[in-house]
Structure 1
Amino acid sequence: MTAIDWFSLLHPVLVILFVYPVMGATIRLGILVREKRLGITKQPALVPREHADHGRWVTAGVVVAVLIALVYSFISKAVEPGAAFVGGAARLALLLLVAAGTLVAILALLKVKRPALRASFTLLTWAGLLGLGSQPEIWRLSDNPFSGAFWSSHYWSGVLLTGLFLMNLAARPEITRHLRWRRLHVASNILIMVLLAVQAITGSRDLLEIPLSWQKPAIYRCDFTNRVCPEPGAAPAAAAPGSAVAAPSLG
């Protein structure tokens, strides 16, 4: 595997080792917070704070994982042998700058307190991800919401999932104070759990379809619509007589 192939593994590795475990802990802590609020069980006073902190970590982890996947898509196309990256180095630099700005926006969202600032940095983060994701280098099964491929797309379900995470993070003070926001928070988390399952399925599927860098020239000659590949070339010609190294004598 080359360096770009190892880079392609950063996105799934981060999701598997960090996002899903932290999300599981966040859900468990959320259940404990609800039981504490309803008086069902007695919980330590730090449980609500731990739940909020885990929510912050998992949201930041999701955004970083998405940015890694997007940046990989751009860089892999730019270094692909025999393929010219549309827009050249200037466009690639601009895309990387947008990715860096999106990272700054999520970091700022973790720090700001005022509602207007929380809303602004939430929109900036999501807009950055949507802008990067709309580029032609990003693999999307379909952009038509009336097609089945759209709803089985790893990208589009990921976009919705990230938006829900960002909304919950931005509205944390309102969720704490208002019943209506808490109900919306619970409903969004149920949808988040469904989307996480969808992401696990579609992500595993897409990993099977992404060839290693050295395999791309052969794989891309296949007809993906009809699911056929060209016949392999003829076997290498036999070595010319006398060209083989003579076997050592046993005598």
Structure 2
Amino acid sequence: MTSTDWLWILHPALAVVVIYPLLGMVVRLAWSIRRERSAGAGRQHGDLGRWLATAVVLLVLTALTVVIATKEPPDRFAGGPARAAELLLVLLGTLGSLLALWRCRPAAGRLGFALLSWAGVLLLGAQPEVWRLSDDPLSLAFWQSHYWAGVGLTGLMLFSLGAWPEIQRQRRLRRLHVSA
């Protein structure tokens, strides 16, 4: 296997090793909260949920970066160094927005940073190097696309991360969180 092949395995390997165990713990704690209303489980669910949301965003960014960077050799990269620099700035801005989302206290700021993070994921995913089954939401292929499912999940995770204090306080948002 070449180094490029190893990079392409990175996304599924990290999903299995990091995301799935975290998801299992978060779901188990959510189920515990729904059944027993235990006080400690809610805090643990929120803390692990933050890590899960962050890991999902980082996993998607890793996949998009690998796909864009390895589609063509560097000397044949469409757009040349200028486009590569722009995409690197988008990646760094997305990572910065994710970090700011963790640190921000006001609700409007958290919402803004969650949207900026998701916009960065969408912008990187819209590049021609990223393969998608379809971009037409009226086609069946769109709903079968791994890319669009991942981007949708990332948006839901960022929403939950940004709205976590409000989800804890408001029953309406808590129901929205559970149904999402």
Shorter-chain TM-score above 0.5? yes
Code of the aligned partner of 1:170:
G
- 2: CA distance between counterparts of 1:142 and 1:69? 18
Q: Which residue of 1 aligns with 2:70?
A: 76
Structure 1 residues 1-251: aligned runs within 5 Å: 1-37=1-37, 43=38, 45-79=39-73, 84-188=76-180
How far off is 1:102 after superposition? Answer: 0.7
- 2: CA distance between counterparts of 1:4 and 1:93? 21
Structure-2-length-normalised TM-score: 0.94
- 2: CA distance between counterparts of 1:108 and 1:23? 23
Q: Which residue of 2 aligns with 1:235?
A: none
Over alpha carbons, which structure has the higher Rg? 1
How far off is 1:77 after superposition? Answer: 2.1
Stretches (4+) displaced over 2 A: 34-37
How many residues of Structure 1 are paired with residues of Structure 2 in the alignment? 180
Question: If each structure's helix is expressed as a fraction of its own residues, which one has the higher value?
Answer: 2
Deviations 1:218-242 (A, max 9, x none): xxxxxxxxxxxxxxxxxxxxxxxxx
How far off is 1:5 after superposition? Answer: 1.5
Structure-1-length-normalised TM-score: 0.69
Code of the aligned partner of 1:49:
R
- What percentage of residue pairs aligned between the two structures are identical? 51
How far off is 1:84 after superposition? Answer: 2.3
Q: Which has the higher contact order (CA 8 A, sep 6+)?
A: 2
Unpaired stretches in structure 1, ≥5 consecutive residues: 38-42, 189-251
- 2: CA distance between counterparts of 1:15 and 1:21? 9
- 1: CA distance between counterparts of 2:121 and 2:89? 12
Unpaired stretches in structure 2, ≥5 consecutive residues: none
